[in-house]
Structure 1
Amino acid sequence: MSQKDLPHTAKLMTIWLLIGLVIFLGIKAWEHEREASRFRLAGDMVVLTRAPDGHFHWPGRVGDVEVDFLVDTGATSTALPQALAERAGLKPLGPIQTHTAGGTASGFAARADVTLQGGVRADRLPVAVLPDLASPLLGMDVLGRLHFSQKPGELRIEPKKE
């Protein structure tokens, strides 16, 4: 390769890198839009759209850590993966054993400040922290405080009318 070929090769590499960057950014923007469209507010009502994995996800926070909760109407209580609990600075209150769809699991109890998009909050919520849990589960300890109904592909959640 001569000195003369190098600038031409560098130009081609730069063009291909720019094309790759544009494609990458386009895919990331599309993923972000798809994620954002799964959650919307309609007045006081939160509307969750079923995700491609077949579940409903509700964005929120545990302390200062952003979380994408899996809405689990079959779970009695909210459960968090241990790595998330550690990032959120949760302190173990004692060992627990809990029964999950996959069998019995050991972990520890903790308390967490949970905030969900749409203004739902649960301070010092007792949670189960499980080392092998794949994603955070939002259980009936929070969902039971709300009124929810389901339509095909949509879960509508609103505060209970007192």
Structure 2
Amino acid sequence: MPSKELPHTFKLLTIWLVVMLGVFLAFKAWEREREASRFQLAGQTVVLARAPDGHFHWPGRVNGIAVDFLVDTGASSTALPQALAEQAGLAPLGSVRTQTAGGAVRGFVARADVTLQGGVQAARLPVTVLPDLAAPLLGMDVLGRLHFSQKPGELRIEPQDADSR
């Protein structure tokens, strides 16, 4: 009669796969918790914690598409990667040449509805769209309309309506 028991190697492989799946899921849960703790609402105040990359990130939406804005007080206007602009259905209104840390680049200007967690909105905000931009940048065109202060590792923002109508 043949043995109905699974081979020893198959049992060990199954155990290792279950252990590795558990480790992977635990890491993902930790990662999600860490991401969520970077944004907090303290009453009406938005509190952003400095991310491991050294920057502040503010979750939001561009024309309904979820994005993670990098807060850039050195940028005069909000800038979006071209792939995101295409996904959000932004139409070019005109070409633009802008100076970045990497040098002069060409892009285009478009209008977008920007919504940030915590209630900040900017409808039909003129944005700069750049082909090789790594991440969406939230510039002073929005930030300049808000009251913000910085403590070590923390950016506190008093949301007001940043609507650009």
Taking structure 1 as the reference length, the TM-score comes to 0.93
DSSP-derived class of the 2:35 partner: helix
Other-structure match for 2:37: 37
Other-structure match for 1:136: 136
Q: RMSD of the alignment, in Å?
A: 1.6
* Count of aligned residue pairs for this structure pair: 159
Other-structure match for 1:101: 101
- Percent of residue pairs identical: 77
Other-structure match for 2:163: none
Deviations 1:118-155 (A, max 9, x none): 01011111000000101000000000110000011100
Residue 100 of structure 1 deviates from its aligned partner by 1.5
Amino acid aligned to 1:72: D
TM superposition outliers: structure 1 runs of 4+ over 3 Å? 3-7
Taking structure 2 as the reference length, the TM-score comes to 0.91
Structure 1: runs of 5+ lacking an equivalent: none
Residue 105 of structure 1 deviates from its aligned partner by 1.1
Other-structure match for 1:14: 14
Residue 108 of structure 1 deviates from its aligned partner by 0.7
Amino acid aligned to 2:35: E
Structure 2: runs of 5+ lacking an equivalent: 161-165
DSSP-derived class of the 1:75 partner: coil
Amino acid aligned to 2:42: A
Other-structure match for 1:23: 23
Deviations 1:2-56 (A, max 9, x none): x778533222211111111100001111111111111000011000011111110
Q: Is the 8 A contact 2:95 2:107 kept in 1?
A: yes
Other-structure match for 1:52: 52
Amino acid aligned to 1:53: D
